Amino acid sequence: MKCALVTGGSRGIGREIAITIAKDHNYHVLVNYASNSAAADETVRLIKENGGSAEPLPFRVENKEAVTTALNKWHENNPESIIEVIINNAGITKDGLFALMEEEAWDSVVDISLKGFYNVTQSLMQKLLRHRYGRIVNIVSLSGTKGNPGQVNYSAAKGGMIAATKALGQEIAKRKITVNAVAPGFITTDMTKDLPVDDLKKLVPANRFGEAQEVADLVSFLVSDKAGYITG
């Protein structure tokens, strides 16, 4: 069975990605979540409702031991299956001015996005290399490309993921494993619901916030065979 793992897949962009790649590519989707089991179960229900296959898979991406334990146990229970798609979507924001930023606000944001990318991807890398095929898509942010005041921690985390994407893409392309990053702008999700939409949409060429489905459609293309020449 060919599988796709979506971290932070219980809500928002992660949920839309999970539903879309299950529908478009017939992957069995592992819906990772940290604590909100009800939301993860709802994502699984929506996938199955559309005729797809999925299961929840709880672990905290920032905890290497938890990641390794969960994935090893899953592989033991599913010895004939291969996780050939990894969507590193898990992330949080804890915004604030850098001069006043507590260490916890720095560590938690960097650990979930950047260390989470390492923990999950590195745990699965040997199997992917032996499989000689794979798709890794990292969900980053425009904050990581241009910076954003009040988000030094988030910009650092996502900027690090972008640099890692470029480097890893070069390392493993010969094994037919692509690594790409998608940097959404303002997307209508729980994370952006409290933002001043009327002011911020003026910064967007389309003069509106994007939809999670629009991000999911791009990710769906990047995990397809059609994107085999796009990496890094």
Catalytic residue among 27, 118, 154, 229: 154
Residue 150 carries which side chain, given as an amino acid letter?
G
Distances in Å between the alpha carbon of 16 and those of 19, 151, 191, 211, 228? 5, 25, 14, 10, 22
On whether the CB atoms of residues 90 and 17 are closer than 8 A, the answer is: no
Could you confirm whether 229 is annotated as catalytic?
no
Tell me which residues are annotated as active site: 154
